[in-house]
Amino acid sequence: MNLSATEILLMPAFMFLLMLGMGATLSADSFRQLLRHPAPAFIGLASQYGWMPLIALALALALNLPPPIALGLMIMGCVAGGSVSNFFTYIARGDLSLSVSMTVISTLTGFVMIPLLLSIYAAPLIGQSGSSNLQIPYGKIVATLLVIIVPVALGIVLRSRSPVWAGRMERGGSIAGFAMIFIIVAGVLFRHGDALMQTDARVYLAGLLLAPTGFVIGYLSSSAMGLASAQRRAVALETGSQNTPLALAIILLSFPAEVQPEIMIVPLLYGVTVVPLAALLAWWFRRIPVEQ
C-alpha cells in the first residue's frame, strides 16, 4: 500500500498550504481571547490530548490490533485539532472563538505533546513486535512538527498584514487538506482495492469509531466541567476531529517506507469518515437551540 512518487511529491506542498491556511485563521484577537478566558480552552485542550489518546489506546486493546495498525491508530489519536473543526463548529452554532483558541494551543504545543503521548501510550503497544523497523522515531517526529509550525507562523504574519489574503489562504489551505486526503485515498483504493477488501473488520472499526467516540466523550466531559452549550459543541467537535493530514505527514516523513503502509491504514480510514460524521453532528447541533 505504498504511495506513488507523485503522491509523495505532492504531499509536502499540500501540507505546507494546509498549515499556512491554518495559521491564516489565527489573529491577535484569537490570542487575546485566549488570555482573557483561558479556562474553557484549557479544558478543551485536556479533552483533546487527554481523551483522544486514551480512546485510541482502548480501541487498540479492545480490538487486539496488530502493532503497526495500533501505532497508526495511536498517532491518529494524538494529532489534535485542525481547521476542519473550526468550520463545523461555526455550522453547529458552537463557540467559534473557543474552537479557534483550542486550535491555537494544540498546534503550538503539538511538537511536545505528540511525541510525549506516543512515548506513554504507543511504545507499550509496539513493544511486543519483533520488527526492528517498528520503532517510534521521536527525533524525526519532533523535527517534522517543528518544520510544520513554520507555515503556521507565516500564516499568522499574513493575517496581521492582509486579512483579505489571509481569508483566501484559509480557503486554499482547507482545499489543499481535502485534496491531500482525497488524492492519497483515491490512489490507495485504485492500486490496492482488492487488498483493502480483505482487511480485517477490526481495522475498519478502529477507523470508524475513533471520531464519534471522541465527539461523545468531549461533549460529556465539557458538560461535566460546567461549560455552556455553545462551548460544549466546540469541545465535542474539536475533540473528535483530529488532524488527518498531520498524521499522514508524520508517518510519511518519519517512518521507514517498509512500515508506512500498515501504519497508514487507520489514518486513511479515519480521514474518509471523519468529515461526513462531523458534518452530521454539526447538522444535528444546528437543529437544537443553543442554551443561554
pLDDT in tens, the chain (292 residues): 555 666 666 777 777 777 777 777 777 776 676 677 778 888 888 888 999 999 999 999 999 999 899 999 999 999 987 667 877 888 898 887 788 778 778 877 888 899 999 989 887 777 655 545 577 888 888 877 877 778 878 888 888 888 888 878 877 777 776 776 677 667 666 665 565 666 788 999 999 999 999 999 999 999 999 999 999 999 999 999 988 888 888 888 888 888 888 888 898 889 888 888 998 999 999 998 887 6
For residue 194, being part of any structural domain is answered with: yes
For residue 266, being part of any structural domain is answered with: yes
C-alpha cell at 194: 482488492
Q: Sort 196 into a burial class: Cβ within 10 Å, 0-12 / 13-18 / 19+.
A: middle
What values do phi and psi take at 64, rounded to 5?
55, 55
For residue 291, being part of any structural domain is answered with: no
What values do phi and psi take at 146, rounded to 5?
-65, -40
Q: How far apart are CA 273 and CA 267, in angstroms?
A: 10
For residue 292, being part of any structural domain is answered with: no
Consecutive H or E run containing 76: helix 67-78
| Domain count of the fold of the chain | 1
C-alpha cell at 255: 517512518
Length of the chain: 292
Q: How far apart are CA 221 and CA 207, in angstroms?
A: 22
C-beta separation of 110 from 145 below 8 A: yes
Consecutive H or E run containing 185: helix 163-197
For residue 51, being part of any structural domain is answered with: yes
Residue (of 69, 71, 153, 151) closest to 114 by Cα position: 71
Instruction: Kindly provide the residue ranges of all beta strands, DSSP E only, lying in the chain, ordered along the sequence.
Output: none
C-beta separation of 242 from 79 below 8 A: yes
pTM of the model: 0.82
Q: How far apart are CA 184 and CA 195, in angstroms?
A: 16
- Where in the sequence is the domain holding 193, given as residue range(s)? 5-286
For residue 217, being part of any structural domain is answered with: yes
For residue 280, being part of any structural domain is answered with: yes
CATH code: domain of residue 230: 1.20.1530.20
For residue 100, being part of any structural domain is answered with: yes
DSSP helix, strand, coil percent of the chain (3-state; round to 5): 80, 0, 20
**CA 25 to centroid of chain Cα atoms:** 17
Q: How far apart are CA 16 and CA 155, in angstroms?
A: 10
